[in-house]
Amino acid sequence: MASEDIIERAEALRKEIRRHSYLYYVLDRPEITDFEFDKMYRELVTLEAEHPEIVTPDSPTQRVGGKASDDFRKVRFRKPMLSLTNVFNAEELREFDRRVKASLGTDEVEYITELKIDGLSMNLVYEDGRLVQGLTRGDGRVGEDVTANVKTIRTIPLYIENAPPYMEIRGEVYMPRKSFARLNEERDEAGLMPFANCRNAAAGSLRQLDPHVTAARNLDFFAYAIGETEGLDVHTQEELLRQLAAFHFRVNPNYRKWDSIEGVIEGVGEWAEKRRTLEYDTDGMVVKVNDFRQQDALGATVKDPKWATAYKYPPEEAVTQVEHIIVTMGRTGVLTPSADLAPVRLAGTTVKRATLHNLDFIREKDIREGDWVRIYKAGEIIPEVAAVLKEKRTGKEPEFQMPETCPVCGGKVERVEGEAAYRCMNPRCGGVVREKLIHFASRDAMDIEGLGPSVVDSLLACGLVKDPADFYTLDAGELQQLERMGEKRAANLVAAAADSRGRGLAKLLFALGIRFLGAKGAELLTEKYHTIEAVMAADEASLQETDGIGKVIAQSVYAYFHDERNLELVRKLQQAGVVTAEVKETAEGAAFAGERAVLTGKLASMGRREAGEIIRRLGGEVQSSVTKTTTLVIAGTDAGSKLEKARAQGVTILTEDEFLRRAGLAPAASESGEPSLF
């Protein structure tokens, strides 16, 4: 049996973890470093592993793992989840206002406007503060039990302090636009059908039988209403929103109170454009009578409350013509068709191209060259074809065929079993190499500034790079051979490449362009394995046990690191000084956290400037000379007076090998048996 002390310690840890998760995920205002947080979390995991009997279902360790209950069991709501009537213009809002006032027999009505989040509504049941059930809306009377999946959403509290004995919290589960864009990119690469918009992506992610998959999808939640609830003392929507925030839910901050419908009209006008800049999709604004007594007096029809309505913004669409269907190559050799469009204005930009994802997508919508199409922007960013205007066809539009040979190398193109994607099967295809290089240097990968597609093309044309490791051995002189590459630009590029060496394992794993492994998956592997050697040594079963990593990714990662060519690349990257271990974003816990280091002498593997960058990235500071505050000296060969001064002061001295090991770089332990200089 676990002793009282252990139970108490676990409870204290849970409470602290809850508080810091709230500060981090909901308020975006962390008070401790990731390192400190991880330490607490790991202590709790260990305690619970040693004493399984103390695990509680609301422990923060229990977010991922439960089984999706009985394929989404149907559950009847105690209070139905109603829908909303829609209005589309100011006049209809005024009519709504007149009806409300006539029915109440007073002109004293306050309204609250809230953004209408485009996700799916959710009913969360809390008993004595514990989350016991999450239900989708279903048909409004009977919902589906998705508790195991809902628990993976970090901003949904598993336990609420000082909560009434029973309450139902309602709100919207949604997928942020960035996550949506990333998910669809990954789906294209994996030969899966894309989601049409953030809402469908959120719905698809909640209806997963494996909660690990949901956990990796980065869903979020805004609370805005309550269902059946006992003992909550709130009298207005405004008070309710404050109370929900006090319970530590995420509440959308863009709500506002108005004392007239003209104010409401101003409010909806204000957001018509501004909503595009949000990180999530909205399709309108919800207007609610603020006072709960007035809400009760107004009542509801079987479908909708009479005290609220949704002002819908018109979906932005444009009509244009498909001039050509072209096929380009993605980073893993996937051939992706897109439509070259007659330029057209849409939601603030000129659109000239829309991705068509894959052949199945084209067939499903029957999109052909010459067709007139309706287009929209998914997640406010990505132009997509909604439908073909078939009545505008001339009969001359040819059905699209996937090329049989690669448009880059002429190699064989094949459709992989069970996938929608076609790939070039030639591993040496110049197109695949090019895409891999571009991907490696891109923003979400190693983020090498100035190394975009056109520079990659020039580098390839001059034979200066063959693989990403070559980026790190470029010298400014060589680079000046390239077109439009002056002295300064060349120097910047070399510096940017050097700077990227310290991005760390998560970015590097993603940058390698391993099939199916997205940025999120790379982070998950990094959290578990910490070094590239550990990832390379892991078998498929171990990889697959990682939260958020499914069988397909596990197989792909395993296969990648069992291909000699890829191992060679990793070795080359390590030799070039690329950090292949986890780098914590916060300095604490990083290899040189808190160190004030001086570099002296000649290093064999890199210049002093580069070494300095690595130290800084790993949390240290670099000094030009040894002073009283110096904590560390890295000494190469021919080190002179600085080294002597350091010795005299008793400062810790590292050889180059020791430095590299501490930085998590190539385990370049000296095998020559030479004694350390010191």
Question: Which residues sit at the interface with ligand IVH, rule CB under 6 A?
Answer: 82-84, 114, 116-117, 121, 172, 224-225, 286, 305, 308, 310
CA–CA separation, 103 and 120 (whole Å): 31
CA–CA separation, 58 and 163 (whole Å): 14
CA–CA separation, 153 and 471 (whole Å): 39
CB of 110 to ligand IVH, least distance (A): 16
Q: Which residue number, 89 or 454, has a Cβ lying nearer to ligand IVH? A: 89
CB of 82 to ligand IVH, least distance (A): 4
CB of 118 to ligand IVH, least distance (A): 7
Q: Which residue number, 146 or 308, has a Cβ lying nearer to ligand IVH? A: 308
CA–CA separation, 670 and 660 (whole Å): 11
CA–CA separation, 181 and 281 (whole Å): 12
Both tokens of 418, joined, read: 């069970």
∠ CA 35-41-46, nearest 5°, is 125
How many of the other CB atoms lie within 10 Å of CB of 329? 21
Long-range contacts of 38-44 (CB under 8 A, 24+ apart): 40/13, 40/16, 41/17, 43/13, 44/10, 44/13, 44/14, 44/17
Q: Which residue number, 113 or 605, has a Cβ lying nearer to ligand IVH? A: 113
Q: Which residue number, 84 or 646, has a Cβ lying nearer to ligand IVH? A: 84
The dihedrals phi and psi of 663, each to the nearest 5 degrees, come to -75, -5
Half-sphere exposure of 446 (CA within 13 A, CB side): 30
CB of 295 to ligand IVH, least distance (A): 9
CB of 430 to ligand IVH, least distance (A): 48
116 is catalytic: yes
- Exactly one of 15, 67, 74, 116 is catalytic; which is it? 116
Query: Helix or strand or coil: residue 593?
Result: coil
Of all residues in the shown chain, the one whose CB is closest to ligand IVH is: 121
Q: Which residue number, 286 or 643, has a Cβ lying nearer to ligand IVH? A: 286
* Closest-CA residue to 114 (of 220, 223, 256): 256
CB of 84 to ligand IVH, least distance (A): 4
The alpha-carbon radius of gyration of the chain (Å, integer) is: 29
Q: Which residue number, 172 or 371, has a Cβ lying nearer to ligand IVH? A: 172
Tally: H helices and E strands in the chain? 24, 22
Q: Which residue number, 170 or 187, has a Cβ lying nearer to ligand IVH? A: 170
Both tokens of 15, joined, read: 């409470």
The dihedrals phi and psi of 375, each to the nearest 5 degrees, come to -120, 155
How many of the other CB atoms lie within 10 Å of CB of 266? 14
CB of 23 to ligand IVH, least distance (A): 24
β partners of residue 168: 125
Q: Which residue number, 82 or 245, has a Cβ lying nearer to ligand IVH? A: 82
CB of 656 to ligand IVH, least distance (A): 58
∠ CA 233-235-241, nearest 5°, is 85
Show which residues are catalytic: 116
